[in-house]
A and B are shown apart, each in its own frame.
Chain A
């Protein structure tokens, strides 16, 4: 093996040191190390270690487990037994428990429970009810009511709390309401505070405090009505909501409507057949003159913006 001799500069003091030849054994060991591919010590310190991927994998695994556990925990709501022995899944609820997404809470004839809807409110589940927790996320708090009655009280901003039934979705725009539904999917909502939108396949019923709305399987929500409306009014409306197209029922509704019942008439305007729309419109205008800015033609054409503006004005009489 040949090595080029290193010549120190003329002013280098090392130049005066005597040159000593390295023993042959040193060269032999260096050559052996090079042949074996051994790295210098400094390079080894920064290089690859076999256990590093294992540690990284372990860290990722732990982080994922912590995240999964925390999100699973957050996606549960507390349930408090109020009466009897309600059950979550197959487990009887003693005092308090947790309901997770996808689980059912069921009460029998003698039991009641209260669900704490995250930090936004409570839902009391009455006897003979079956409720499933669909979503427990910050942007969506959703229950499904299969049968029975719930009493919801929510303090969150609008459109954060939902209750699904087979014939409607109650979208919370307000604060407190009761909702009941039978096994067939027929039910009724009653709002005590604020307002709620009942939605189903493009149909929307806006139910303010003091009003109720029926829902029917395969037909969705009917027109809302104030609870203090005449019995004849409510009975005739029930026939209309049931899909009976009798002229008498509409005639009764129109005849017995008060100013406040324009809540119902406004909803009927969008739902009656075209031939009856003019009759509903005429009665509404007779009860409360058309406000400025609302065009009769556009109202009868069911122009969305016109109807919204009209509804906002009518609401001052509700």
Chain B
């Protein structure tokens, strides 16, 4: 009986580890395949979300406009495939900027910092996190992208 209980507990304990972690894939906007959002900066896909009806995706663009530090909300347009979104700025930012994404799937969280040089995102510098990015991480990413102080 003790052996059965041990095995059951082991399975229960290991099963969350076996489940893939909720995360984000960031890609060229072509991947979202949303014609009406062709000016999008990136495509985002929510990965390993069991119930996409409970998923959310929001974000802000962090950068400068007219020489002033600005935070601009991002336009998030759902695609035909559930969990796929095209993401773009709602107002222009100058030069280099970063997008901070916040995604939820039920109680699970994921975040990403996506640097941009003008309209193009810098793929190699994308950071995907198992949580929302902190203000400091966003600040550092912006400085790295713009070449400003760390």
Interface residues of A (CB under 8 A from B): 155, 157-158, 173-176, 192-195, 206, 208-210, 260, 312, 315-318
Contact between A176 and B119, CB atoms less than 8 A apart: yes
Interface size class of B (residues with CB under 8 A): 10 to 19
Contact between B120 and A315, CB atoms less than 8 A apart: no
Contact with A along B32-55 (1 / 0, CB 8 A): 010110111001010000000000
Interface residues of B (CB under 8 A from A): 25, 27-31, 33, 35-36, 38-40, 43, 45, 118-120, 123
- A192-B118, A193-B119, A210-B120 known; A315 and B38 CB under 8 Å? no
Question: Shortest beta-carbon distance, A262 to chain B, in Å?
Answer: 12
* B42 nearest in chain A by CB position: A209
A208-B29, A209-B30, A316-B27 known; 10 new pairs, CB 8 Å cut-off, are A157-B35, A157-B36, A158-B35, A158-B38, A175-B38, A192-B120, A208-B30, A209-B120, A316-B43, A317-B27
Contact between A194 and B27, CB atoms less than 8 A apart: no
Residue among A157, A194, A208 facing the most chain B CB atoms (10 A cut-off): A194
- A209-B119, A316-B45 known; A173 and B38 CB under 8 Å? yes
Q: Cα distance A155–B36 when bound, in Å?
A: 10
- A158-B35, A194-B39 known; A260 and B123 CB under 8 Å? yes
- Give me 5 A-to-B residue pairs in the complex whose CB atoms sit less than 8 angstroms apart, sorted by A's number: A157-B35, A174-B38, A195-B30, A315-B28, A316-B27
Question: Shortest beta-carbon distance, A62 to chain B, in Å?
Answer: 42
Q: Cα distance A166–B39 when bound, in Å?
A: 28
Residues of the A chain whose Cβ atoms lie less than 8 Å from the Cβ of B120? 192-193, 209-210
Question: Shortest beta-carbon distance, B101 to chain A, in Å?
Answer: 15
Q: Which of A155, A260, A315, A316 contacts B39 (CB 8 A)?
A: A155
Q: Cα distance A152–B27 when bound, in Å?
A: 23
* A156 nearest in chain B by CB position: B38
Q: Cα distance A174–B35 when bound, in Å?
A: 8
Contact between B38 and A316, CB atoms less than 8 A apart: no
Q: Cα distance A228–B38 when bound, in Å?
A: 22
Residues of the A chain whose Cβ atoms lie less than 8 Å from the Cβ of B25? 316
Residues of the B chain whose Cβ atoms lie less than 8 Å from the Cβ of A318? 27-28, 30-31
